[in-house]
Amino acid sequence: MNVTQALHEQGQSNWLDNITYSMLDTGQIQHYIDQYSVTGLTSNPSIFDKAIGSGDYDDAIRAKAARGPKGEELFFELAIEDLQRAADLFLPIHERTDGVDGWVSLEVSPLLAYDTQRTVAAAKALYARADRRNLFLKIPGTPEGPPAIEEVIASGVPVNVTSGASSSARCLLSRSSRARERDRT
């Protein structure tokens, strides 16, 4: 038994902080699930930037760019395709654990970090486009984050708050979370 399997046996959720086209195509992510008890996957723009810069995406970029998407729209098309494939790999874990594990995550554009309404709209749109129930949308924990997070969660979209939240934003998120729990009981 390796270290990550031992941690998993103790109840630890092991998440992979990386995704690339080649990791999906070669079965490397499935290997991590099977051999290292990886139970989820997180991504962010810098992870995808590094992956896309590797050359593995050149053909896909050319084909998509010929259809019209550019810049951030092209980025999200590529990211969503990869994350859909990853979500499908993690879905059996998600089902087996009743949603405790088996998640993948996609971050809304960091350019929206200080715009509550555009963050809400983007999170809902990305979740609908991805069409995977085991996909979290990562929303920045900026001062504008808590109302966006509340609204997105209320609409049924799973949310993961990204790091870097200010102490006041963390306090607001904590209060918001406690209020939601009271409302459920």
**pLDDT tens readout for residues 39-78:** 999 998 888 888 888 888 999 999 999 998 888 999 999 9
Q: At what angle do helices 28-36 and 71-96 cross, to 10 degrees?
A: 30
List the one residue out of 40, 47, 129 whose CA is nearest residue 87.
40
Domain end call among 105, 122, 143: 105
Residue 95 and residue 115 share a domain:
no
Residue 99 and residue 23 share a domain:
yes
Residue 114 and residue 132 share a domain:
yes
pTM for the model stands at 0.86
The pLDDT of 127-150, averaged and rounded, is 94
Higher pLDDT, 141 or 29: 29
Residues 138 and 149: beta-carbon distance below 8 Å: no
Residue 58 and residue 138 share a domain:
no
- Report the distance separating Cα 165 and Cα 185, nearest Å: 28
Residue 56 and residue 125 share a domain:
no
Domain end call among 79, 105, 131: 105
Catalytic residues: 138
Residue 117 and residue 60 share a domain:
no
Residue 51, pLDDT score? 87
Per-residue pLDDT reduced to its tens digit, 70-115:
889 999 999 999 999 999 999 999 999 999 999 999 999 999 999 9
Task: Assess whether pLDDT exceeds 70 at residue 169.
Answer: no
Provide the percentage of residues in the chain whose pLDDT is more than 70. Answer: 88
Domain of residue 47, residue span:
1-105
* Per-residue DSSP letter, 12: P
List the one residue out of 179, 182, 181, 159 whose CA is nearest residue 171.
179
Residue 164 and residue 113 share a domain:
yes
Residues 6+ apart with CB under 8 A from 19: 29, 41, 43, 47, 48, 51, 82, 83, 86
Task: Assess whether pLDDT exceeds 90 at residue 175.
Answer: no
